[in-house]
Amino acid sequence: MKDTLVILNLKFDTSILYVENIRDLIVAGSTHIELDFTSMTTIEPFGIVYFSNFIKSISRIRGLEISCVYIDKDVSYAKHMGFFKNCGFDIGAEPRDSFPTKATSYVPITILDVGSLRQEAIDSYKEVGDIIENYSINLAKLLTSQKDDTPLVDTLTYCFREIIRNVVEHSGSKKITFCAQYWPYLGKAEIVVLDRGKGILNSLNENTTLPKINDDKEALNFALLPSISSKVPYAKKRKSRNESFWKNSGFGLYMTHRIAGLGGDFFVASGKHGLRWVRDQKTDHHVRLKGTILRLLIETNNITELQDTLRVFREDGFALARQLTEMEIEPSSASLMLTKHRTK
Ligand SMILES: Nc1ncnc2c1ncn2[C@@H]1O[C@H](COP(=O)(O)OP(=O)(O)OP(=O)(O)O)[C@@H](O)[C@H]1O
Ligand SMILES: [Mg+2]
């Protein structure tokens, strides 16, 4: 028997919900799921990446058929973004396999090879962080059609760089998937980065100086705290900086979530759990992922000089990191600590 799921849009909440709906159908023994896109309106980068990634992963389940119906003229954007091909349907454009080279207010699904980034670094005698930085600057400029280092370009560059660097440095994934859109008239930009690597929980648990982290939810809350890293000994004073500039200090997720917090929206999910911060409201979400996804929705009109903003966040972060050092808090208290810190 065929089960049909009508997809009305792929915004943030609906994408998460539809994935749960589909999983329920599979658990209930469905053998054929038809996705009905004939009434679909808005689709946004998070939905494009998260939903298609899920469909692709379940298309490997033996004995399960996934099909879709759509009205061609109504899905030209989805086709262009590589959405259908990434689901596994032979419709529309393939996901891109290289960084964009032309100005565009939307970046279709792009799947990069981590090995090639590393090779590029070796070939040019640079660190992979520098290679990612260069691509991130370009990406930010093309997305915003701004040629100079404006505060918006600097901010988007910073965010792209930190979340792409995390995939390369921590996930163990061979590929990085990203997708982005800038809506100048709404004053919003959305960046989504996904990997199918080991996940935040496994990565942090590799650091034996950290207390044992029990589940994805604890891992996410803990990872957001400044100075928490799989690569930094816990609760020890760090040596003064003399090594590579890109050495991990556990500030990447903390800083990006504060930047998105400037009127925007931050979401990180890994394994089965997702955390979303909208202003000072935190919500928890069930997700289905092999690996990690980040979504930053940036309120572009709230962006002022990046260096000033970062300085404030960094100072806040250092103060919080100092408290952590003194208290050696457990992962289960991380959420409370971050909430108190953000609403202070
Ligand atoms: N994509 C990912 N896959 C697996 N683990 C991740 C991923 N992103 C982050 N993490 C985990 O979360 C931790 C915190 O990330 P964060 O970016 O805040 O710090 P860092 O990368 O260790 O240091 P910094 O960003 O300051 O160089 C990482 O050390 C890693 O254990
Ligand atoms: Mg990082």
pLDDT tens per residue, range 107-143: 999 999 999 999 999 999 999 999 999 999 999 999 9
Q: Pick the atom of ligand 1 nearest to 206's CA.
A: 31
Give the distance (Å) from ligand 1 centre to CA of residue 105.
Answer: 28
Give the distance (Å) from ligand 2 centre to CA of residue 51.
Answer: 25
Q: Pick the atom of ligand 1 nearest to 292's CA.
A: 1
CA dist 318 to 154, 295, 341, Å?
Answer: 22, 24, 12
Question: Which ligand places an atom closest to the C-alpha of 194?
Answer: 1
Helix (H) or strand (E) holding 2: strand 2-6
Ligand 1 neighbours (beta carbon < 6 A): 162, 166-167, 169-171, 195, 197-200, 203-204, 223, 228-231, 248-254, 292
Question: Which ligand places an atom closest to the C-alpha of 200?
Answer: 1
The answer to whether the beta carbons of residues 290 and 241 sit under 8 Å apart is: no
267 DSSP 8-state letter: E
Q: Retrieve residue 83's tokens.
A: 């959405």
Provide Rg for the chain, Cα atoms. Answer: 20
Strand partners of residue 40: none
pLDDT tens per residue, range 85-115: 999 999 999 999 998 888 899 999 999 999 9
pLDDT tens per residue, range 22-56: 999 999 999 999 999 999 999 999 999 999 999 99
| Among protein residues, the one whose CA lies closest to atom 27 of ligand 1 | 248
Whole-number pLDDT of residue 242: 43
Distance of CA 28 to the CA centre of its chain: 30
| Among protein residues, the one whose CA lies closest to atom 29 of ligand 1 | 229
Question: Is the pLDDT assigned to residue 241 strictly greater than 50?
Answer: no
Question: Which ligand places an atom closest to the C-alpha of 269?
Answer: 1
Question: Which ligand places an atom closest to the C-alpha of 202?
Answer: 1
Give the distance (Å) from ligand 2 centre to CA of residue 194.
Answer: 14
Q: pTM of the prediction?
A: 0.94
Top mutation candidate among 200, 208, 231 for ligand 1, by most atoms within 8 Å of CB = 200
CA dist 14 to 88, 155, 269, 340, Å?
Answer: 20, 28, 16, 29
Q: Pick the atom of ligand 1 nearest to 195's CA.
A: 1
Cα distance between residue 270 and residue 299, in whole Å:
24
Question: Is the pLDDT assigned to residue 240 strictly greater than 50?
Answer: no
Confidence of residue 244 (pLDDT cuts 50, 70, 90): low
